Amino acid sequence: MTNANLSMLCDFYELTMSNGYYKNGFYKKVVYFDVFFRKVPDNGGFAIAAGLEQVIDYIKNLHFDEQDIEYIKSKNIFDENFLKYLQNFKFSGDIYAVPEGTPIFPNEPILTVKAPAIEAQLIETFLLLTLNHQTLIATKANRIVRAAQGKAVIEFGSRRAQGASGAVDGARAAFIGGCKGTSCTLTDELYGVPAGGTMAHSWVQMFDSEYDAFKTYCEIYPDDPTLLVDTYNTLKSGIPNAIKVFKEVLVPKGKKKLTIRLDSGDISYLSKKARKMLDEAGLENCKITASNSLDEYLIRDLMMQGACIDIFGVGERLITSESSPVFGGVYKLVAVENESGEIVPKIKVSENTAKITNPHFKKVYRFYDNDSGKALADELCVYDEIIDDGKEHTIFDSNASWKTKTLTNFTAKELLVPVFKNGKCVYDSPPINEIAVYCKEQISLLWDEVKRFENPHTYYVDLSKKLYDIKNILLNIYGI
């Protein structure tokens, strides 16, 4: 897999449809696809966009080499001219996307592709798997970080992730969501997410005594050691031995960065006992890390119980988003250009009204209240609509046409930014630490009611009157 061409990471039907588009002459037809999702994981109030940097790298490297084309040819169902077309294949279209770290909501485009039909079709799988995965993990990480109420959260989940990319890119997404670091070394090397670690129980077991294990570790790593104190008996031996080693080895050297880690037992009870023992020993500066199958709810409970924890290490329930493991983003055709270049809106209809799509090439505006700075609502508009900050604007409620909201003192911001134009990347991905800071800033602009874990307030997202009318015309045409 390491040397595989990711252009081949597509559903087989994307190749068969592309072959059909080529034979029918549709391959020159310009089409528009939206990526969006229908439901926030864990029934939360919002999600966090992530994964765009990997999408950009993928688009830049789109190609089919000789080995790929030979494989496709071996299926004996593809047109010879289509195979020749693939020899010089590259992306030539436009992509617009929401920047990573942006809070996003159901049914609004988070990425839009404008490209010839084959190009737009062949990239579907990679776009979805990348955006779905990283957005899911960034969203889960942020829930956990918010539960920690300012205490540091470290991502610890590599060994429980679903595959290598799940571990590496998942740790990247967790950092965007607010984690302070990761245990995954490769994520640090590739993306600059700070990697760190403590020790395993096996380190302690390798020595004749727990004291010797701690003493040796502190002698090798005196600047910022973390001692795992629950291999044998946390209160009777682990913490006392840690205190003894800290005072014998590190305090005389003036070392002040000291940490112990609790990984089992009643974390709340043990953390309080540990804090008392450390303070009585004069080690008030020593921090306490807690791990062991934590998630936002357990962390929230620990905080409510007054647990004396400074750092949370969160693994499997974060890196797999165990409680809600599927993001569910979809990729749907929303418009096609006809021979004269006119953009013709397209819609998917369904008896399941939640699956009826919003047609047309769109832009998304987010409205901010000028007094509080808080985000008020998002509005999906047709691509040529313009909203002026200084003018009164009425938001139309498509679910209740009699209900409208008039905004006066607001600032409107377009969420989708150009990423590729005519096949050329026009967007510079910010450094990962800047994305994380941006994410934190944008979440601070949401009302607290939207950030509740249970029954969050539904953030207002709707269609402009113009787009609503276009959608209704199409629904009438198709008999809905």
For residue 346, the Cα-to-chain-centroid distance in whole angstroms is 29
The residues of the chain scoring below 50 in pLDDT are 1, 402
- Distances in whole angstroms, Cα of residue 379 to Cα of each of 36, 141, 374, 413, 461: 14, 27, 15, 10, 6
Question: Are the beta carbons of 273 and 262 closer than 8 angstroms?
Answer: no
Residue entry with tokens 């997404």: 173
Burial state string for 181-204 with b = 16 or more CB within 10 A and e = fewer than 16: bbbbeebbeebebebeebbeeebb
Question: Are the beta carbons of 449 and 457 closer than 8 angstroms?
Answer: yes
Q: Which one-letter amino acid corresponds to residue 326?
A: V
Provide the 3-class DSSP secondary structure of residue 445. coil
Residue entry with tokens 């303070």: 279
pTM, rounded to two decimals = 0.95
Q: What is the pLDDT of residue 3?
A: 74
Q: What is the pLDDT of residue 406?
A: 83
- Domains of the chain as residue ranges with CATH: 6-137+325-477 (3.20.140.10), 145-319 (3.20.20.70)
DSSP 119-167: HHHHTHHHHHHHHHHHHHHHHHHHHHHHHTTTSEEEE--GGGSSSHHHH
Considering only CA atoms, which of 386, 380, 330 is closest in space to residue 355? 330
Q: What is the pLDDT of residue 85?
A: 95
Considering only CA atoms, which of 48, 26, 22 is closest in space to residue 37? 48
Hey, what are 206's tokens?
A: 């390798």
Cβ-based burial of 400 (10 A; exposed 0-12, middle 13-18, buried ≥19): exposed
Distance (Å, whole) CA 114 – CA 96: 8
Q: What is the pLDDT of residue 400?
A: 54
Q: Which one-letter amino acid corresponds to residue 197?
A: G
